[in-house]
Every structure is written in C-alpha cells, then in structure tokens.
C-alpha cells in the first residue's frame, strides 16, 4: 500500500525538511506533489538523492484523489486551503497554529497522545503543535506519568529557523554586516538578531505574554493535562537550527534525580545526555539533523517541593515540525486509519 502525498509550503524551511524526512524514513509514497505560492510555481525542490519535483501553485491544486497533505504555508494560508483539501477527502496534517486549539482538531505528538488521533475524522485535519511545545511535552510525558506535573516554569532559547527561511537569511546578513561595522535594520525580528537575544516571539497578548508563550501553556494543557500550569518566557537567539529550553518542574509526588533519569531513559523519542562534566550536555548544534529530544542538566530544584530542573534541546525543523508531522502520518498508516485507501502502483 502506498499513498499520494502533497507537501504544502514545500519551498520553505519546514516543507523542505518534510520532503527530506518522508524520503529518509521511506514513507510509502506512490506520488508526491510539492506545492507553494504562485511566486515559486515552476521552481524545483529536491526529493531524495536524485529526484527533483517541480513546484505547483497551491491555489490551482485539486486535492481530490490525494491521501495526505502535510501543510506548512503559514496560518492564514492553511486557514483557506487546509479545509479545502480536507473537504476533498485528503487528510491534512497542519504545522501552522491555525487549528491547534480547535476542540474538534486533534493536537498530536505521537509519543505523547496518539489516542487523540481517534477524533480526526470530524474535520479531517490534525494539528502539529508548536515546535517549543513538542520538545517540552516529549520530555515531560514520562515524568508526568510517574510523578504528575503540577507546574512548569520554562525559558526558551529558540533558533532563527523557527521564523522560517527569512529568519535564517536575516541572521546571516546581519552577522556579516557586523564585521564591517555596519548594521541592517531588522525586518523579520524586532531587533538586531546578530550577537543578541530577543525576548519576543510572535505578537504581544493583553496580559503581557507573547503569543508563543501563550501557545506553550495552552498546547501543553491540551496535549498532556489541562491541570498543568505553564509560565514560559520565549527568547530568540542567534542560532540557526535547534531550540533549547531551561525547564523547571514542580511535581505532585516526590521525585529523585535518579528516578527522573530512569523514566526519561526509557521514554520514546528522548535521549538522556547528562554527564556532569565539562561539555557533558547537548547544545543546538549537536541536535541539528537529529530526531531526538535531548535532555541534560537534570537536577533537583530545592526551591519548591518536589522540584526538578533540566535542559532540553531538539531540532525545531525535525521533531519540532517535519518529523512530528511525518510520524503522525506513519501512525495513521500503521493503524489503518486512512479511510480512503487506494492501491497505487508504487
Ligand atoms: N520553522 C519552524 O521551526 C516551524 C516549526 C513548527 C511550525 N512552523 C510553522 O510552519 C509554517 C511554515 O514555516 P517555515 O519555517 O517553513 O516558513 P518559510 O520558510 O517562510 O516557508 C513558508 C512556505 O510557505 C509557502 N507559502 C507562503 N505563502 C503561501 C501562499 N499564499 N500559498 C502557498 N504557499 C505559500 C512558501 O512558499 P513560497 O516559496 O512560494 O513563498 C514557503 O514554501 C509556519 O506557519 C510556522 O509557524 C514552523
């Protein structure tokens, strides 16, 4: 059995990673379509070692007969075209924030809450959580199962690729001009991102939090447990790929460092890298291109009852976006959840 798969936003940072991930993981593909805006229609993107796909215009694309569409064209574009694809019978896995908090759209991290997929037929749309939420809930899940998470205080260190290809271009351009004692006015970010850190990701909300910080709180509740309280400070750092997080957790039940480490070691998708020597932890550069969520610096937080602190790092384009979306698609295939299955010639 193989499937017709459309990748929407195929010229972007996430879309290209989706194509790479589908190929690397040998997803059962009968046909793959690369879609983007009219601006890049006719351009070419790679699929695997030697295949090149010609980009098609999303506006003109008919999803009838396509089995799965992996969307990452930005929320406003998904708002229009994801329901159109879903209505044509194509299962949409959407990376944008557009549908995440809709009650009838599952918000899924396969290692954490695959059971939520049961309801996806309501809308034929499945949402991929925010990149910062994904890596945090993968690490929290085994700890929540054993010790029950009550409250999380998290500070993020998020790479510029979280803002797409334009974010990466701006870091490169602004870094270069620093060396000639010049400055580029920021366009993607709110301040100069070169040699700087910026405590704002997404827009401000009424209570003074940013939307990224709000997303981490509400998405964690939806995925893991509505009783969990989360306060986040989300910070953009001059790193190309890989988000890091300093996570401080208060549990209902007592927890020792060794118990936490054991639970994390056995958790799917987690690699514990915690040597307590110089360099004995993972940084974003080492996580780049990797599938895992790396957990380091595990220690007691003695300032609260049942407190634990850790550092976690993951590739935001892979587990934070493309890989998670492809894992959802793999889950649907493995559990025979794609209603309209067609025998396609491979
Ligand atoms: N980057 C991350 O770490 C990450 C993680 C999770 C979720 N996301 C979400 O994924 C989405 C894309 O992120 P990205 O980082 O890949 O951004 P990006 O690098 O800027 O890519 C955007 C993609 O969307 C396409 N697009 C833009 N407007 C379109 C339109 N009107 N019709 C069709 N396609 C259109 C672009 O095509 P053109 O080449 O034609 O402009 C491009 O392929 C965003 O919603 C983002 O929030 C990103």
pLDDT tens per residue across span 273-302 = 999 999 999 999 999 999 999 999 999 999
pLDDT at 321 over 80: yes
161 touches ligand 1 (CB under 6 Å): yes
Which ligand 1 atom sits closest to the C-alpha of 243? 3
CA of 199 to the centre of ligand 1 (A): 22
Ligand 1 pocket, residue 41 CB under 6 Å: no
Q: Check whether 173 has a pLDDT greater than 90.
A: yes
The sign of the torsion formed by the CA atoms of 232, 16, 31, 23 equals negative
pLDDT over 90 at 346, yes or no: no
Q: pLDDT tens digit string along 52-86?
A: 999 999 999 999 999 999 999 999 999 999 999 99
Phi-psi map region of 276: left, alpha, beta (phi>0 left; psi -120 to 50 alpha) = left
- Could you give phi then psi for residue 246, rounded to 5 degrees? -95, 115
- Give the per-residue pLDDT at 339: 63
* Alpha carbons 107 and 94: distance in angstroms, whole number: 10
Q: How far is CA 4 from CA 41, 90, 155, 309, in A?
A: 20, 9, 40, 44
User: Are 35 and 55 contacting, i.e. CB atoms less than 8 angstroms apart?
Assistant: yes
Q: Reply yes or no on whether the pLDDT at 147 is more than 80.
A: yes
What is the predicted pLDDT for the residue at 338? 83
Which of 57, 69, 73 should be mutated for ligand 1, with most atoms under 8 A from CB? 73
Question: Is-contact 263 308, C-beta < 8 A?
Answer: no
Task: Give the pLDDT mean for 311-334.
Answer: 98
User: How far, in Å, from the CA of 166 to the mean position of ligand 1?
Assistant: 10
Rounded average pLDDT over 96-109: 98
Residue with the bigger pLDDT between 31 and 181: it is: 31
pLDDT on residue 262: 98
- Tens-digit pLDDT profile for residues 193-235: 999 999 999 999 999 999 999 999 999 999 999 999 999 999 9
Nearest atom (ligand 1) to Cα of 14: 16
**Cα torsion 214, 244, 329, 76: sign:** positive
Tokens 């927890």 belong to: 255
Note the pLDDT tens digit of each residue in 244-256: 999 999 999 999 9
The set of catalytic residues is 131, 243
Question: Would you tell me how many other CB atoms lie within 10 Å of the CB of residue 340?
Answer: 10
Radius of gyration of the chain (CA): 20
Cβ of residue 307 lying under 6 Å from some atom of ligand 1 = no
Provide the pLDDT for residue 341: 45
pLDDT surpassing 90 at residue 9? yes
Decide whether any atom of ligand 1 lies within 6 Å of the 11 Cβ. yes
Beta-strand pair 56-57/29-36: parallel
Per the CB < 8 A criterion, the answer to whether 140 and 224 are in contact is yes
Q: Model confidence at 340, in pLDDT bands (50, 70, 90)? A: low
In 3-state terms, what secondary structure has residue 99?
Answer: coil
Pairing mode, strands 3-8 and 68-71: parallel
**Chain-wide mean pLDDT for the chain?**
96
The dihedral sign for the CA sequence 102, 104, 105, 110:
positive
């Amino acid at each position: 059995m193989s499937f017709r798969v459309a990748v929407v936003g195929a010229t972007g940072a996430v879309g290209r990673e989706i194509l790479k991930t589908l190929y690397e993981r040998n997803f059962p593909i009968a046909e793959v379509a690369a879609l983007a805006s009219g601006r890049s229609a006719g351009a070419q993107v790679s699929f695997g070692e030697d295949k090149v796909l010609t980009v098609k215009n999303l506006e003109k694309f008919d999803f009838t007969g396509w089995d799965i569409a992996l969307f990452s064209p930005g929320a406003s574009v998904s708002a229009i075209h994801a329901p159109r694809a879903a209505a044509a019978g194509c299962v949409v896995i959407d990376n944008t924030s557009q549908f995440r908090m809709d009650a009838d759209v599952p918000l899924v991290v396969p290692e954490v809450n695959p059971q939520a997929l049961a309801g996806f037929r309501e809308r034929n749309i499945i949402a991929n959580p925010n990149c910062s939420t994904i890596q945090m809930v993968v690490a929290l899940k085994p700890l929540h199962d054993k010790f029950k998470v009550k409250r999380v205080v998290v500070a993020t260190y998020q790479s510029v690729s979280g803002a797409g290809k334009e974010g990466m271009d701006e870091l490169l351009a602004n870094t270069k001009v620093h060396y000639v004692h010049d400055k580029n006015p920021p366009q993607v970010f709110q301040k100069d991102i070169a040699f700087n850190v910026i405590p704002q990701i997404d827009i401000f909300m009424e209570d003074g939090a940013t939307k990224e910080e709000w997303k981490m709180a509400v998405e964690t509740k939806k995925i893991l447990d509505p009783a969990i309280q989360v306060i986040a400070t989300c910070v953009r750092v001059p790193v190309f790929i890989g988000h890091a997080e300093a996570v401080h957790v208060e549990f209902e039940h007592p927890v020792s460092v060794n118990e936490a480490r054991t639970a994390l070691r056995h958790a799917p998708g987690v690699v514990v890298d915690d040597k307590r020597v110089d360099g004995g932890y993972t940084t974003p550069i080492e996580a780049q291109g990797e599938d895992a969520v790396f957990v380091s610096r595990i220690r007691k937080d003695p300032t609260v009852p049942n407190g634990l602190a850790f550092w976690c790092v993951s590739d935001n384009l892979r587990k934070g976006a493309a890989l998670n979306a492809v894992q959802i698609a793999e889950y649907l295939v493995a559990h025979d959840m794609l209603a309209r299955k067609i025998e396609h010639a491979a």
